[in-house]
Structure 1
Amino acid sequence: MDNNVINNIATPATFLASRRSSSPKLFTGPLPDHDTLNRILTSGLRVPDHKGLQPWRLIVLRENALTKLSCSIEHEAMEQKNGNAKWLRIANLYRNAKLVVCVVYSPIEQPEVPKWEQLLSAGSVCLSLVNASLSEGFAAAWLSGPPTESRSIMNELDIMEHEKIVGLVHIGSCKNTPSDRPRANISGKVSYRD
């Protein structure tokens, strides 16, 4: 499967109209090489950022770090009374992952830029990383879920108390064509006022 066929990168308009993520469960190699990954990361940080605060940072997780993360998630699963199976599925996903970019919201004290605006900037990094990966011909998906809320996992990743994980962006290649999901109909989501 050629990811460029699914995400038609012929023009910016066709890309935005066709873009979609694949399930990270299906990701394989090849992965971006060093230069390509740096291009993806550089493009991913080109987001709206009031006052240039850069209220985010990235942690690139590769195989050894992902194996360690998977073990932490398994440990977390043992602590859960309900949802244990869900945590174990998540642990397996990270055990098999090859490249994940952890996007950390790291707010800055700035009276002119509210925290919610800084959080939106960090979220924009997640989408921008996905789009940059797709435009380079790779598969990508932005995940959140239980690992982003676990203080023990955040501690393992050196996420400070005032910070938060806003996304775990999986990057790889995908041999299967993902089915598209139903998309929002603008007639139910857009209103016009003159």
Structure 2
Amino acid sequence: MPTPNPAALDFLQTRRSRPAKTLGLPVPDRAALRPLLRAALRVPDHGKLEPWRLIVLERAALLRLAALVPEVGAHLGKSPEDIAKGQAQFADAHLAVAVTESPKASDKIPALEQTYSAGCVCLGLLNAALAAGWGANWLSGWTSHDRGFVTTALGLAPHERIAGFIHIGTETSTPPERPRPDLDTLTEWISE
């Protein structure tokens, strides 16, 4: 018989991301963040390729990224609203971790599996932060997908891309519960 962990299962069934714009100070310091980062790296990783890396963005770095957004957005023809939203993602934040997909050449492990693994790191970090009592949110947005921005702002190599920005901080307001997927509508049982 399996040994259940009711507390972990309850956490997973009730977890709720916190909107990034509602996350304030304090944020975890480096000592408090390290166990969350370690937990995030305990993900499925077929072939043990470690096809990801983490870039911790502290306040000064986030403000630097925010300052780059208007010029990049204007060059891309983004609307003023899109530029403002992209800039606020960094300007309003106090701590974020850029989970970077960094695929490795492999004859055995498809690139898509490496992408999935990087996504697992995002979810792992999000859940670790929430389990530790912090508020957290997983964001991407147009800035994370623009090659020029991620190269200039974060120094990504040509084969790398952002899987997500995980914002972590103190929850300033509890968000309302949102509707959840209907299990029965989305599940097919095959017994033969």
1:179: Cα distance to partner?
A: 1.4
Alignment of 1:99 onto 2:95: yes
Task: List alignment gaps of at least 5 residues for structure 1.
Answer: 1-9
Q: Determine the structure 1 residue equivalent to 2:71.
A: 75
Q: Determine the structure 1 residue equivalent to 2:40.
A: 44
Q: Give the letter for the 1:110 counterpart.
A: S
Q: How many residues align?
A: 185
Task: List alignment gaps of at least 5 residues for structure 2.
Answer: 1-5
SS in structure 2 of the partner of residue 125 of structure 1:
helix
How far, CA to CA, are the matches of 1:82 and 1:45 in structure 2? 34
Give CA deviations for 1:71-115 in whole Å, capped at 9, x if unaligned. 111212222434331121220231121100001111111111000
Distance 1:152 1:82, change over 3 A: closer
1:154: Cα distance to partner?
A: 1.0
Q: Give the letter for the 2:16 counterpart.
A: R
How far, CA to CA, are the matches of 2:179 and 2:65 in structure 1? 32
SS in structure 2 of the partner of residue 97 of structure 1:
coil
Q: Determine the structure 2 residue equivalent to 1:6.
A: none
Alignment of 1:66 onto 2:62: yes
How far, CA to CA, are the matches of 1:56 and 1:28 in structure 2? 27
**1:25 equivalent among 21, 26, 33:** 21
**1:152 equivalent among 140, 148, 152:** 148
Q: Determine the structure 2 residue equivalent to 1:34.
A: 30
Structure 1: 4+ residue segments shifted above 4 A: none
Alignment of 1:168 onto 2:162: no
Counting only pairs closer than 5 Å after superposition, residues 99-118 of structure 1 correspond to structure 2 as 99-118=95-114
SS in structure 2 of the partner of residue 11 of structure 1:
helix
Q: TM-score, normalised by structure 2?
A: 0.93
Alignment of 1:90 onto 2:98: no
Preserved contact between residue 77 and residue 88 of structure 1 (Cα < 8 Å)? no
Q: TM-score, normalised by structure 1?
A: 0.92
Preserved contact between residue 61 and residue 102 of structure 1 (Cα < 8 Å)? yes
Q: Give the letter for the 2:28 counterpart.
A: P
